[in-house]
Amino acid sequence: MLLEATDSQLVLVDYQPRLMPAIFEGPQVLANALRLARIAQLLEVPVWGTEQNPQKLGLNPPELRNLCNKTLEKMHFGAVSDGLVDWLRPPSRPAGGNARSLPKHLQKPAAPTPERATIVLAGCEAHVCLLQTALELIEQELDVWVVTDACSSRTERNRDAAFDRLAGAGAELITTEMVAFEWLRTADHPLFRDVHALIK
CATH number of 1-63+122-200: 3.40.50.850
User: Hey, where are the domains in the chain?
Assistant: 1-63+122-200
Of 121, 40, 52, 18, the C-alpha closest to 26 is: 18
Amino acid at 56: K
Of 63, 87, 81, the C-alpha closest to 10 is: 87
Helical (H) or strand (E) element with 49: strand 47-52
pTM: 0.89
Helix, coil or strand: residue 119: strand
Structure confidence at residue 164 (pLDDT):
98
- pLDDT at residue 200 tops 60: yes
List pLDDT tens digits, range 5-48: 999 999 999 999 999 999 999 999 999 999 999 999 999 999 99
Q: What's the Cα-to-Cα distance from 78 to each of 31, 51, 95, 137, rounded to whole Å? A: 23, 11, 33, 9
Identify the weakest region by mean pLDDT among 9-18, 20-29, 111-120, 133-142: 111-120
Of 175, 60, 68, 83, the C-alpha closest to 136 is: 83
Cis peptide before 125 (omega within 30 of 0): yes
Which residues are paired to 13 by β-bridges?
50, 123
Share of the chain above pLDDT 90, in %: 85
Amino acid at 158: N
